Structure 1
C-alpha cells in the first residue's frame, strides 16, 4: 500500500506522520507502520531524506560507483561531487567493489569529515566472476576473493566445488549476491587454476582477476595468414625513402617490439630530428578482426614474467617491429629544430626505413655518459650521432623545464625471476641519460603531431592532463608548510612551474619521497580525450600519443586519421565517422590503461612478498617512507616496502603527529619521522594480503 502511494504520479515526499494520515492509520497502529517502513528502507524499496521525509528510492538518492575497503566499509564516487561519500559497513547493502549503486546522503561533509551515506539499491553488479583461494569445510567451502577490496567470502554449497581442494586458486561464478553485509554471496566454481604454490598460478590468478585476454580468437589468427613476413615491393611504392639515413633504435635489452627509430642530422639552423614509428595501420585495417581485438585489449600489459600483447607476435615482434637490417614501413615525424630547441618546421609522412643498428639504453649510456672506450670502439661509426643526440636531448629538456614541465623520477622495480617464476633479485630500475634521450625525442614528436592536427581542426585523440583541483592543491600547500615550503597559487590556481620548483627544492631531502608522492596524488590522472585541454604535468598546450602503435590503441587510431589526411581522404563523411567513434575510444582506452596499471602493480607487490619470504628474521637498513597513525612504512634500497606497526614500537606509547608526519613517544619523546634511516627486521610476509611486516631491529639486540 505504501509503495502504491509512492508510485502515484502526483506523489510528493512526506514524513511518517503525514503518510499515516494519508493512509488513515490510527496512532496506536503507527508503530507497526514504522516496522513496515524500516523493512522497506532495508530492502531499498523506499528511501529517507536527512530531514526524515520518505520517498521513492531515487527521490533522495544519487547514482555512483562503489569502492570497497578490506574492512567492509566503502566509498561511493558520484560524478560531479568533489569528494567520495563514506558508507559504513552496516549500510553497504552487500555492495561489492565496482558495483553501480544508489546512495542516499545522510550527512553532508563537515570540515575534515567526508559526507556519509547509505546504499539503497545496487543498480548493476560489477563482479559476475571472481578469482580467489578455495577453503574446504566439510561438505561445503568458501572462496576468499583475491581482490582485498571485496571483503566478503563466497559460500560454495556442496556439489558446487568442481573437485577443488583447500589451497586451490579458482574462478567462482556468483549465483546469489546476498542481501546486506552479513549474508554471504553464494557461487559455483567454474574453473580450477591450480594450487596456490604451483609455478605461474600466482600471475595467472591476476590475469584472470583483471579479465586480461590471453589467447587471440580464431578470426584474428586467420587474418594473420594474410600478413606477409617481409615488406612487399608494392607496399613500398609512393613512400618517402629514408633507407640511406643512419637509423637506430634504442630500447631495453629484452625489448622485442621495437616501434620507434631515430635519425638525426646537423643543419645550418640546428638539427633535423626524425622520429620514425612503425606503420601498424598498414596491416591492421579499421573494423578488421585484428582491429576489433586491439581495441578490446586497449594496451599491452607487462607483467613480471610475461607480456600480454595488444597485437599478435607476428606483428609486434615481426613485420611491425623495426628490426635491424630489415626494410620497414613507417609513419615519420621529421622536425627542423633550431639551436634554442624550438621546432621551426616539420613534415609528417609515410616512409620506408631500414634500421642500421639495434642499440640498448645500457650501450648508449656507456657512450654518452661514461665515455667507455670499449663500447665506443664497438659502435665507432655511430658515436658522433649519439653525442649529437645527447646535445639535442639536453636542449629539448632544458626548454621543457623552463616552461615548467614536472619530472617525477620515482625508481621503478626490476624483478628478476628464475625458470619457475620465483623472484631471485629485486633492484631499482633507474632512468639513465639514454632513456631520457628517447623520452625527450618522443615527447617532441607527440607535441608536434598534436599541434599540427589541432590547428587543422581534425577529429583527433589527445592525451590530456587536466589542472589539479584547487581544494587538493590548497591542502598540499598547507601540508608542505609544515616542512618549511610554500606553493604560490594566485587566484587559487597553481602553475606547473610552481610544482617543478617544489620538487627541485625537496630533491635530496629526507621528506622528498613523501612530498613527491603527495604532489603526484594531488594531481589528476592523465587520460585520452577528443578535446584538447592541454597537458598540465608537461606544461604542454598540445599533446597526444603517436609513438607506440604496437602497444597502445590510441596511437594506432591517430595513425589512421593522419594517413587519411595525408591521402586527402578526410571528407565530410570520414570526419563524421571519426567524430562519432572517437569519444568512446577515448573512454574505453583510458579505462583499459588503468586496468593494466593496476594489474602490473599487483604483480610487482606479489613478487616482492614472495622474495622477502626468504629473508624473514634478517635485518636490513631502510628509510622511513611514510608515517600514519597505525605505524610507519620503511623502504629498502631494492624498492621493497614494509610496515612497522605501531604495536611493534615498544617501551613507550607512540602518538601520530599529523602536522609533522611523525610518531612521537609520550614519555621518551622518541620520534620516528620521514626520511629517517632505520634498521629493521623482517617479521612476516602475507602472500594473500600482499603485505610485508617489519619491526625495529634494535629490539632484537
Structure 2
C-alpha cells in the first residue's frame, strides 16, 4: 500500500484528530532520510485536495471537517453548484457572494454552511479553496478602446469579463473572436486579466461557430508534426509472421455495415446458419493495437484524446487518418489484421460457445445501413441482384437480430426509442434542413451483434481474473426514481414495484406507454432518473442493458478503452500476463477508466452544443412560422415544446397570459386558476416561433391564439385544483422565476 493510501486510511479512522507534520512523523516513525519525501507527499496530497491543512498547520481529510471537494458548475446569473467527486453525495448550492473568485469548471473545496439532513432542502456552501483551475484559455469577443480592452466569454457561465491591457491585445480588434490566456485569476474585488493568444476571426465567418465550440471545450485539433511523422512511419505491409501465426479468415464471407459517410470502419460481421438451427456469428474488430504500441507517441496521443468527436461536418479523430481511414480501417478487398469473437447462438439467443482469436480478414463488401435496409425491408430487386451472394446472409442476420433482441427484452433490458434527427448543412456550414432520422433494420442488426460481442468478451475476461476496463451502468438515483414512480402512478399506470427496482420493471413502464402521447415524456423522465454509464476497472454490471458483464470491445479506432482492452486480451491469449504485468495493468486500467469517462463527457457536451447551435440557427430563419409539437417538459417557469424534428423551444409562463397558472410538481403540469386549463406532458399544441437566442442556443415559442389547452382532469387527485387555489396568494407573493 502506498504512503498516500496509508495516510488517507489513517485520517479516516474515527479516533483521528487533525495532526501537524511532527505528530505524523512520530506516528509513522519517519526517519531523517524519509522526512523530505514524506513532506513532499503531504504537499502533493494537499495540492490535490485529498487532505487539507488548517490555519494551525494540522492535516485532515475534507469530509471529516465539513468540507466537500468537486467541480464547480456555474450559472450565468452568478451562483453555482459544487458537483461532488464522491458518488452519492448531494450537490452544494453556492450563492454568488460566496464564489470567492471560482469560475465554471474549477476544481474546488467548499465549506458546507447549511445542511439539511433529510435531503428536502438544498445544501449551501462557500468556496474556501480553488484546487485546480478549469479554464486557463477562454474564447470570447474582444471589446477594445485606445488603452485597454475586455474579452467577453462566449460561455455565459463564465460571467466575468477578462481585462486585456493594450500591450497584450496582440492585434485583436473590436468584435474579433479571440482566445485569451488568463494570467491573473479573479478574486472578490478584481476581474481576471489575460493575454490575447490567438485571433480566430470575426463572428459569422464560415466554420468559426463550430471552431469556437472546439476551442471552448479544449478539444484537440490537428495532430502535431511529431505524431503525423510517427504515423507515416507505420508500415502498411502486413509481415509474413502475422500471416503465419494468425487464424486466416480471408476466404470467409463478411461485410462491414456503416453509414454512407463513414471512413473509419472498425467492425465487420460474418454469419453461418448451422443445420441444427443455431447460428455462428463472427464479429471482427480492427486490431489497432498492432500499430499503436503501448507508450508509443501514438498511444499517448490516443490516451489524451480518449475518443473521436463527431461535430456534424467534421470529425476530430482519436488517431491520425493514416491509421483511422487507412491501415486500420476494414476497407473491402484488402487484407486486414483483426481480433475476432465467434459466438455460437441457439434459437433462444443463448450463447452456447465462443472463441476469441487474433485473425486476418479480407472483407467481401462495404455495405451501408441504407442499402441493407432496402434489401431487407423494401425487397429492392436491383440491390438483391447486385448482392446476390450475400442476400441469404442478410436474411440470417435479420433473423438472429430478432432472436438476440427478444432475449434482451426478456431479461429486462431498457430500450429507449428516442426520435433522432439529421442536421443538413450547406457548403457555408449553415443548417438548411433538420429531419427525423430512423434507425433501420440494418442499424439494429449491427447494434445487437456488437452488444453480444461486448458481453461475451467482458464475461470471458471477468472469469480470466485479469485487470480490465468494463463499461458499467449503476442503479438509478433513488430520489429521482421515486419521483418517476409517482409521476407514472399519477398518469394512471399501476406498476407493482419491488423494493429493489429491476430494469425489467422499468422496461414494463416503457412497454405500457408505447405508441401513446406520453411515451417520449415518460422515456425522457426515466432517462433523467438513471445514472450515467461510465468506464470502470470493477465489473458491477450494466443496469440499462440488464447485463452482468459488459465492456466496449468493438470500436478501437475511435474509443481508447476498446484499444486498451484489445492489448489485455491479446496478452492474455498469448499467456504474457504474469503477476508483475498484472500489477502494472491494474494501474493502467484505472487511469484509462477515469480519463475515458471524463473525455467522453466533454465530447458529448461539445456534440450536444453544436447540435443545439445549428438547431437555433435553423429556427432563426423561421421566426413567425407556426408548428405543431408536443409538450416535452413542464416547469414552474413555462412549458417546453418539442417539434417532430427534435427542436425544442420554451413557452415562458409570462406568455400564458389568459390566466394565472399554478405549477403542480407531482403531476408535472400547469393548471389555470380560473379556466381550469391543464398544460400537461405529452399534449399536442400549436406554436409560433417568436425569438431565438443564438448565444445561449435557446428557442422561444408562443402558443397560437386558437390553441386551447385540454381541460383534462388529473386522475389521481380530483381535489388537487381546489387545494392549490387555497395557497395561490402565498405562491403569488413568494414566486421566484426559476429560469
Q: TM-score, normalised by structure 1?
A: 0.89
Asked if 1:539 is matched to 2:539, the reply is: no
Matches within 5 A, 1:482-497: 482-491=490-499, 493-497=500-504
Is the CA contact (8 Å cut-off) linking 2:232 and 2:322 kept in structure 1? Answer: no
SS of 2:621's equivalent in the other structure is: helix
Residue 437 of structure 1: how far off its partner (Å): 0.6
Distance 1:161 1:614, change over 3 A: same
1:676 deviation in Å? Answer: 1.7
Instruction: Give 1:198 deviation, angstroms.
Output: 0.1
Q: Is the 8 A contact 2:685 2:707 kept in 1?
A: no
Q: Within 1, Cα distance between the matches of 2:601 and 2:572?
A: 31
Assess if the C-alpha contact under 8 Å between 1:529 and 1:587 holds in 2. yes
The alpha carbon displacement at 1:486 in A equals 4.4
Q: Does 1:459 align with 2:481?
A: no
Could you tell which deviates more after superposition, 156-165 or 306-315? 156-165
Structure 1, residues 315-350: CA drift from partner, whole Å, max 9, x if none?
111111111111111110011111211111111111
Structure 1 distance, partners of 2:351, 2:307, is 30
1:367 is matched with which residue? 375
1:487–1:499 CA contact under 8 A, matched in 2? no
Aligned to 1:160: 168
CA contact (8 A) 1:626 1:632 kept: yes
1:554-589 Cα shifts (integer Å, max 9, x gaps)? 111111111112222122232222122211111111
Paired residues of 1:58 and 1:102 also in contact (CA < 8 A): no
Report the counterpart of residue 520 of structure 2 in structure 1: 513
Does residue 324 (structure 1) correspond to residue 332 (structure 2)? The answer is yes
Shift of 1:670: 2.4
Shift of 1:511: 2.1
Residue 77 of structure 1, aligned match among 80, 83, 86: 83
Cα distance in 1 for partners of 2:527, 2:235 equals 45
Deviation at 1:233, TM superposition (A): 3.9
Asked if 1:308 corresponds to 2:303, the answer is: no
Which residues of 2 match residues 380-395 of structure 1 at below 5 A? 380-395=388-403
Q: Is the 8 A contact 1:309 1:551 kept in 2?
A: yes
| SS state at 2:166 partner | coil
1:426 aligns with 2:434: yes
CA distance in 2, matches of 1:630, 1:139: 43
Question: Is structure 2 residue 95 aligned with structure 1 residue 95?
Answer: no
CA contact (8 A) 2:98 2:126 kept: yes
Q: Please, which moves more after superposition, 622-631 or 229-238?
A: 229-238
1:167-193 Cα offsets, whole Å, 9 max, x none, are: 32211111222222x643222221111
Match of 1:635 in 2: 642
CA distance in 1, matches of 2:426, 2:238: 37
Q: Distance in 2 between matches of 1:152 and 1:57?
A: 30
2-side partners of 1:156 and 1:656: how far apart?
46
1:126 is aligned to 134
Relative to structure 1, the CA distance from residue 45 to residue 697 in structure 2 (aligned partners, 3 Å threshold; closer, same or farther) is farther
Q: Identify if the C-alpha distance between structure 1 residues 508 and 82 changes in structure 2 by more than 3 Å, giving closer, same or farther.
A: farther
The Cα shift of 1:232 comes to 4.2
Match of residue 529 from structure 1: 536
Deviation at 1:430, TM superposition (A): 1.7
Partner-residue secondary structure (3-state), 1:95: coil
Find the counterpart in structure 2 of residue 21 from structure 1.
none
Instruction: Give the superposition deviation at 1:662.
Output: 1.8
**3-state SS in 2 of match to 1:76:** strand
Contact kept, 8 Å, 1:679 with 1:698, in 2: the verdict is: no
For 2:558, which of 532, 551, 573 is the aligned residue?
Answer: 551
Question: 1:464, 1:528 within 8 Å by CA — same for their partners in 2?
Answer: yes
What CA deviation, in whole Å up to 9, does each residue of 1:633-678 have, x standing for no partner?
1111111111111122232222222222222222222232222222
CA distance in 2, matches of 1:59, 1:640: 46
3-state secondary structure, aligned to 2:168: coil
Q: Say if 1:46 and 1:57, in contact at 8 Å, map to a contact too.
A: no
- State the 1:453 CA deviation: 0.9
Matched, 1:226 2:238: no
Alignment partners' CA distance in 1, 2:700 and 2:409: 40
Give, in whole Å, the separation in 1 of the partners of 2:215 and 2:495.
44
Q: Which residue of 2 aligns with 1:61?
A: 67
Q: Tell me how far 1:59 sits from its aligned partner.
A: 4.7
Aligned to 1:275: 283
Distance 1:441 1:8 in 2: 57
Q: Superposed, which structure 2 residues align to 1:538-617 within 5 Å?
A: 538-617=545-624
Moved more, 646-655 or 124-133: 646-655
Change (3 A) 1:212 1:333: same
> Which SS does the other structure have where 1:112 is aligned?
coil
Aligned to 2:448: 440
Specify the SS of the correspondent of 1:615: coil
Residues 486, 666 of structure 2: 8 Å contact kept: no
Within 2, Cα distance between the matches of 1:673 and 1:249?
45
58-67 vs 350-359, which deviates more? Answer: 58-67
Counterpart for residue 201 of structure 1: 208
| Counterpart position of 2:15 | none
Aligned to 2:294: 286
Aligned to 1:4: none
In 2, distance between residues paired with 1:329 and 1:60?
55
Counterpart contact for 1:606–1:687, Cα < 8 Å: yes
Query: Which deviates more, 99-108 or 580-589?
Result: 99-108
Deviates more, 1:376-385 or 1:456-465: 376-385
Per the alignment, residue 680 of structure 1 pairs with 687
Cα deviation for residue 424 of structure 1 reads: 1.1
Please list the CA deviations of residues 359-408 of structure 1 after superposition, one character each: whole Å capped at 9, or x if unmatched: 11111111222222232222222111100000001000000110001111
TM-score, structure 2 normalization: 0.85
Deviation by residue 1:33-55 (Cα, 9 ceiling, x = unmatched): xxxxxxxxxxx9979xxxxxxxx
Structure 2 partner of 1:645: 652
Q: 1:566 to 1:685 in 2, by over 3 A?
A: same
CA distance 1:77–1:488, change in 2 (3 Å): farther
Offset of 1:66 from its aligned partner? Answer: 1.6
- Where does structure 2 lack aligned partners over 5 or more consecutive residues? 1-17, 22-52, 57-61, 709-739
CA gap of 1:57–1:161, structure 2 versus 1, over 3 A, is: farther
CA deviations 1:16-41 (Å, max 9, x no partner) are: xxxxxxxxxxxxxxxxxxxxxxxxxx
The answer on whether the counterparts of 1:155 and 1:185 sit within 8 Å (CA) in structure 2 is yes
CA distance in 2, matches of 1:566, 1:695: 62
Whether contact under 8 Å (1:473, 1:494) holds in the other structure is no
Asked if 1:695 corresponds to 2:728, the answer is no
Matching residue within 178, 182, 187 for 1:174 = 182
Distance 2:19 2:575 in 1: 59
DSSP-derived class of the 1:127 partner: coil
Whole-Å Cα distance in 1 between the matches of residues 439 and 146 of structure 2? Answer: 54
Aligned-residue offset at 1:680: 1.4
What per-residue deviation string (whole Å, max 9, x for no partner) do you get for residues 228-282 of structure 1?
3353444322111111111111111111111100110011340110000011111
